[in-house]
Amino acid sequence: PALAKEAALIQQYVDRGRMLDIGCDLGDFFEWFVTPKWQCYGVELSPSAAAHAASVYRADVFTGTVRQASYEPGSFDLVTMIDLLYYLEDPIADLQEVAAILRPN
């Protein structure tokens, strides 16, 4: 229920585009973004979780960190990082990467 509420809140502000869920785990958050309006991408450290998320939600999931993924600047309309910041080795560097890969505005 919490993920559904978070998705609904987010979609009040961004209702379509390319979304990246960093730390996507099994991809459960993608459930509310699997529509023709969204292209789902994920970043996940666990190879088995990444494979599951990619398979179940037809998402493009990179196994590794967001900085290792080397996405092009301005690649995404939405980036989510749910329950993740306390796991990061260098959260400032990761947030700077997120700022770079978000589209302007």
* Token representation of residue 34: 């699997």
pLDDT category at 5 given cuts 50, 70, 90 is very high
Amino acid identity of 56? V
pLDDT in tens, 39-95: 999 999 999 999 999 999 999 999 999 999 999 999 999 999 999 988 889 999 999
* The predicted structure's pLDDT at residue 24: 97
Amino acid identity of 41? Y
Q: What is the number of other CB atoms lying within 10 angstroms of the CB of residue 105?
A: 4
Assess whether pLDDT exceeds 90 at residue 37: yes
Helices (H), the chain: 2-11, 47-57, 66-69, 91-101
pLDDT category at 105 given cuts 50, 70, 90 is confident
